[in-house]
Amino acid sequence: MQEEKIKIRTIFNDAKVLRVALEEYFKHCKQTEEVPTKIGMLVYLDITENTLYSWKQKKRNTFLQQINWAYLQIRHINDCLKIENKLIRYDNKQLAILVVEFYIKLAKENNLLYEYGLTVYCDFSNYTFIEMLNDTAIKYQVNSWLYFKDCVKLRLEFRIGKNVALMASERLNISMNAQALLDEFRLAVWDPKSIKQIPLAGNDHLRDAFDYAIEPYIRNLSANINPYFERK
């Protein structure tokens, strides 16, 4: 206990020093592939719960703020791991059921889907999974209005150019309710190493899905377009 008091007085006499030590703990966890925990943090800092209790008694709020920050980081990392592990346990059959059930729920909220039908365009690189989605739709007896199809997947620079032109002419609009999609557009950065006008890879799942959904209608929306396109 006496050694701990000396350590606190000499090393953690500044909240900034404590913050650095906490950040080092998370770096250590990442390097060793160790899941961060509250107990692991205390062991790494070589302190005990008594130290935290004494900070509370002495109202050392700047120190406690750093500890609370670390607790939030630990909770966030562990929550992400739980979600990741849950997703990993799904096989393709289970995932297909979840996807079809999602669109069934969506259809109940929007009756127009039953009337006009819904075609979902998927990345053609996973054709086996697309067939599985359609088989699942048949089992749920919703294949009369729900159909999964491989996307055209035009060249990226072509998709971007046409979408920009359509938006500029106000023939293509994005709802302000689609904040996640709008955020991806705002965060997109052009690739400085490419001679083509294409953005850097990453943070682009919604942008790709948006492109795939628009591709089948480009011929009707845009004039002077070549009927033959090359997949990338």
101-132 burial by CB neighbour count: b if 16+ within 10 A, else e? eebeeebeeeeebeeeebebbbeeeeeebbeb
* pLDDT tens-digit readout, 9-38: 445 667 788 888 888 988 988 888 888 888
Q: Across residues 181-205, what is the average pLDDT?
A: 76
Alpha helices in 89-204 (DSSP H): 92-109, 112-116, 127-139, 156-168, 179-187
Q: 25, 18 in Cβ contact below 8 A? A: no
- At 39 the pLDDT is 82
Q: 196, 160 in Cβ contact below 8 A? A: no
- At 161 the pLDDT is 76
Q: Report whether pLDDT(43) > 70.
A: yes
- At 97 the pLDDT is 92
Q: Report whether pLDDT(225) > 70.
A: no
- At 4 the pLDDT is 47
